[in-house]
Amino acid sequence: MIRLQNIEKVYRTDTVETLAVNGISLDIAKGEFLSIMGPSGCGKSTLLNIMGLLDEPSRGTIRIAGQDVSSFSDQRLARFRNEQLGFIFQSYHLINDLQVLDNVELPLLYRSSSARERRDLAAEALEKVGLSNRLKHFPSQLSGGQRQRVAIARAIVGKPQIILADEPTGNLDSAMGNEIMDILINLNQNDGTTVVMVTHDENMANKTHRLVRLFDGSQVQ
Amino acid sequence: MLRNYFKIAIAVLKRRKFFTFISLFGISFTLTILMVGTAFLDKVISPDYPDYKRERSLYVGSMELQNSKEGWLNRSNVSFYFFDHYVSRLKSVEKIGISSYSKASNAYINKKKIVINYKYTNADYWRVLEYRFLEGKPYAEQQILHAERVAVISKAIKKAYFGDVSSVVGQYISADEVNYRVIGVVDNVAKTMRNFAGDMFLPYTVSKENYKKPDLMGSYSAVLLARSKADVPKMKLEFDQMMKKVPIGNKEFDRLYCNADYFFASITRGITGDGKDSGITKAVSVLVALVILFLLLPTINLVNINITRIMERSSEIGVRKAFGASSRTLVYQFIVENMILTFLGGLLGLLFSALMIYFFNSWNLMDGVRLSLNFSVLMYSFLACVFFGLISGVYPAWRMSRLNVVKALKAQ
């Protein structure tokens, strides 16, 4: 599903060059649930951002769903992200000015779907994460766990093949974290969605199919 | 999609109220000034009492003699002789309304000084221009021929001179120690109608000047009326051809310019033009430059505020990009949002303009000038809104759309 070949990411300033990701090659199969672990600053999030086409590698190639995405234009990349990828962030990144339902239907705004269709799909996604009673709430009126569930609903509303989750349980207590993890496992098992998750939590990582460990930008396991 | 943008735009406006106030104040204040200015310009340019036949009219107001070798010139109003001797013979001219510029005379009523601005006119002046007679009637050819000391006065001077009386026809009014019998009273003319405003109108034959003197320069101007709108260009051509044959009659000069202008050109010629050039291009350019300069200041202010506001929303921008918004879509979103803000400012501006115009009219700030917010004023204001919205939205939106997603998401 995702094939990374010899990916490198170098951050350059006037005086310093930092190698954030150093020659990583990785194959992630369709329907796989993969977790990435490693100490802070080891390049986990950078790698995830590269997989999510939010950041460009300095070297190496990425193929997602059989397509070489390195030559995609801004428009094409945007459409590809919209159709194939769903993101979950540690700090949720919900738009506080919009109600829960509006937040969830955001990815559908960039497709040709009617307002009614968007509403229905967003409501359906919220029902899946157990928040169908919070449609008209604003993010600020929800707990951390609820916000992350809204973020998951937003990630799955467009029915992407791949979910990329950057420390989705990082800001939550263990009970809430487990709830979120259950939702992700459910998505992976029942819908066949490929999930790649960056985490610090060994327990969460152990629930996934495969664990990749990074250290100083390189893969060590 | 638009509903989503609208929701966001309103939420953003509510979020930083001071910024919103500054933005809306900048837009609405500028638009108010523009709208009132346009209403004023519209008042000057559009046909108005008593000059309703502008489509059929050409205006002759200045005579210019030039010494092209030494580069000096002499410019003044036109002589009565010129109109009588040359222009009245043009075939395409149906009527000529001739009037002198206003002269002031002081009168003392109950120890109070009244300034009477009087003009000399011919009889056709009353046919070319449509003054509203509140009582009496204008003087006719016979009265002019006999140099009768008769006068048509304005409603304002009737009140100032005679007080609150119902009729003054037959009574006498004095100017420059000459008594004139009032034969008509007309409604007041707005000061913006400079050529037609006056307190008292007299037959040109009672003037002390020798109106028969064969000079080209004098103190008169005229409105030439064609038989139909379609005849106006023909009348202009005939006038220009006639001018080629008019002898200069003064060896000091080698060039002679006098023009029968359309109304707008007759104004610009006096401000930015000369005998040769009507000055329209220069006048319009100056006006456009002033408007752009005037719009530029609040626009730059808006651009700055918008950049600050947009950068505050970098997390949202990151999320939108991550979920499939292209740079172009984001530019479009922020321009739409900015247009919403601009139109809100426009609505406020419209409200303030209506209030300003209401007070301008009800306090009678300029004698007889009644401004109004008509369709053309609204059109110009709408265009100004679009200009504002686009100019102040495009650059910040473009900058924002270039944001790197990862950096944008980290910025929160």
Kindly state the average pLDDT of the residues B381-388: 76
Considering just the CA atoms, what is the radius of gyration of chain B in Å?
Answer: 29
Q: Whole-angstrom Cα distance, residue B209 to residue B396? A: 67
Helices (H) and strands (E) in chain B, counts: 13, 14
Preferred mutation among B6, B323, B406 to probe A, highest tally of A CBs within 10 A: B323
Place of tokens 């053309």: B376
Q: How close A128 comes to chain B (CA, Å)?
A: 19
pTM of the model: 0.68
On the question of pLDDT at B245 being above 90, the answer is yes
- Following DSSP, what letter does each residue of A16-72 receive, concatenated? -EEEEEEEEEEEE-TT-EEEEE-STTSSHHHHHHHHTTSS--SEEEEEETTEEGGG-
Q: Do A81 and B1 touch (CB under 8 A)?
A: no
- Mind telling me how many Å the CA of B340 is from chain A's nearest CA? 16
Inter-residue contact B129 to B50 (CB < 8 Å):
yes
Mean pLDDT of A122-140: 91
CB contact under 8 A, B329 and A78: yes
Cβ partners under 8 Å of residue A40, min gap 6: none
Phi, psi at B106, each rounded to 5°: -100, 140
pLDDT per position as a tens digit, B12-37: 777 778 888 888 888 888 888 888 88
Do B324 and A79 lie within an 8 Å CB cutoff? yes
Please say whether the beta carbons of A36 and A199 come within 8 A: yes
Q: How far is B347 from chain A (nearest CA, A)?
A: 24
Residue B201 has pLDDT above 80, yes or no: yes
Distance from C-alpha of B280 to C-alpha of B288, rounded to nearest angstrom: 12
> Which residue from A75, A79, A106 is facing B320, i.e. has the nearest CB?
A106
Residue B345 near residue B332, CB atoms below 8 Å: no
Banded pLDDT at A72 (limits 50, 70, 90): confident
What's the CA gap between B136 and B362, in Å, rounded? 29
A84 to chain B nearest CA, in Å? 10
A29 touching B (Cβ < 8 Å):
no
Chain A residue at shortest CA distance from B401: A74
SS3 B34: helix
Q: Which of A54, A90, A162 to mutate to test the interface with B (most CBs of B within 10 A)?
A: A54
Across A88-110, average pLDDT: 91
Interhelix angle B327-362/B375-401, rounded to 10 degrees, is: 150
Taking an 8 Å cut-off on Cβ atoms, the answer to whether A82 and B12 are in contact is: no
Which segments of chain A are extended strands (E)? 2-12, 17-28, 33-37, 59-64, 67-68, 85-88, 162-166, 194-198, 210-215, 218-219
Phi, psi of B280 (to 5 degrees): -60, -50
**Cβ-defined contact of A78 to B409 (cutoff 8 Å):** no
A155/A96 Cα distance (integer angstroms): 17
Residue keyed to tokens 């010494």? B67
**CA proximity to A123, closest of A102, A101, A149:** A101
Contact state of A81 with B328 under an 8 Å Cβ cutoff: no
For the stretch B135-159, pLDDT in tens is 999 999 999 999 999 999 999 999 9
Closest Cα partner for B59 from B71, B45, B72? Answer: B45
- Mean pLDDT across the stretch B307-322? 85
Q: What is the overall mean pLDDT for chain B?
A: 88
> CB distance A79–B326 less than 8 Å?
yes
The verdict on a CB contact (< 8 Å) between A75 and B321 is: no
How much is the pLDDT for B1?
A: 67
- SS3 per-residue string spanning B272-303: CCCCCCCCHHHHHHHHHHHHHHHHHHHHHHHH
Name the band, by pLDDT with cuts 50, 70 and 90, for residue B361: confident
Q: Are the Cβ atoms of A110 and B406 closer than 8 angstroms? A: no
**Cβ(A144)–Cβ(A69) below 8 Å:** no
Cβ contact, residue pair A89, B409, below 8 Å: yes
Please give the Cα distance from B386 to A19 (Å, whole number): 48
| Strand partners of residue B108 | B113
Given a contact cutoff of 8 angstroms between Cβ atoms, the answer to whether B51 and B129 are in contact is yes
Phi first, then psi: give them for residue B72, nearest 5 degrees: -125, 165
Quick check: A74 contacting B, CB < 8 Å? yes
pLDDT of residue B165: 93
Residues of B with CB under 8 A from a CB of A: 1, 3-4, 7-8, 11-12, 15, 315-316, 318-329, 404-406, 409, 412
pLDDT digit string, tens, across residues A18-42:
888 888 999 999 999 999 999 888 8
Task: List chain A residues with CB under 8 Å of B319.
Answer: 93-95, 106
Among the partner residues A74, A98, A154, nearest to B326 by beta-carbon distance: A74
Closest CA to B383 of B34, B39, B42, B45: B34
CA distance B385 to chain A (A): 26
A95 at the B interface (CB within 8 A)? yes
Chain B residue numbers with beta carbons less than 8 Å from the beta carbon of A82 are 323-324
Using CA atoms, how far residue B216 sits from B53, B136, B237, B252, B276, in Å, is 27, 35, 20, 14, 17
In terms of pLDDT, which residue wins out, B327 or B63? Answer: B63
Of A59-68, B205-214, B235-244, B275-284, the range with the highest mean pLDDT is: B235-244
- What confidence tens digit (pLDDT) does each residue in B279-301 have? 999 999 998 898 888 878 878 88
CB within 8 Å of A146: residues ≥ 6 apart: A131, A134
Residue with tokens 């229905």: A120
- Tell me whether residues B324 and A87 touch, CB distance under 8 A: no
Is the CB of B327 less than 8 angstroms away from the CB of A115?
no
